[in-house]
Structure 1
């Protein structure tokens, strides 16, 4: 195998690795957003067991999932204002 062919092979591997990293970043962010939304929906459901009456929809689940407990407290305060 020629030396230039070997260099081209390793450059190709580096480029393929870089493309894989660039593509996987948005997928990780999307997966984190989905899991946080599910956790937020579960937190809202638990809060509703105590009779607060928050609506469980996509926006409230995203707020609760992204901001966590402060997000749920903010939603409760917003409900009673």
Structure 2
């Protein structure tokens, strides 16, 4: 496709969303999920900070942050169990 056509279509969609308004429910879900993933990363940071004295270390990446953020404390325990039994 021609880049001008792609830019025109994207610009038209953005203009349409500005006039009509973006659907709030999907955007709210995405925002809440992003906050939960950040909280999960913070959980893992503190786990790694205090767990190193016990030999516990879980790498912080998007997958582990999502598991610990969306599942909460049971997700953190599951990651620790997986990390200790797999390695």
Give TM-score, length-normalised by structure 1.
0.72
Q: 1:79: how far off?
A: 0.3
Alpha-carbon distance in 1 for matches of 2:57, 2:47: 8
Take 2:75 and 2:40, find their aligned partners in 1: how far apart are those partners? 9
* RMSD of Structure 2 on Structure 1 (CA): 1.4
Counterpart of 1:24? 24
- The yes-or-no answer on 1:75 pairing with 2:79 is yes
1:53, CA displacement in angstroms?
1.2
- The alpha carbon displacement at 1:28 in A equals 0.6
Partners of 1:23 and 1:73 lie apart in 2 by: 36
Aligned residue pair count: 62
The CA deviation at 1:47 is 0.3
Normalized against structure 2, the TM-score is what?
A: 0.67
The Cα of 1:58 is off from its aligned counterpart by 0.1
1:32-47 maps to which residues of 2 (within 5 A)?
A: 32-47=32-47
Q: Does 1:65 align with 2:69?
A: yes
Greater C-alpha radius of gyration = 1
Moved over 6 A (4+): none
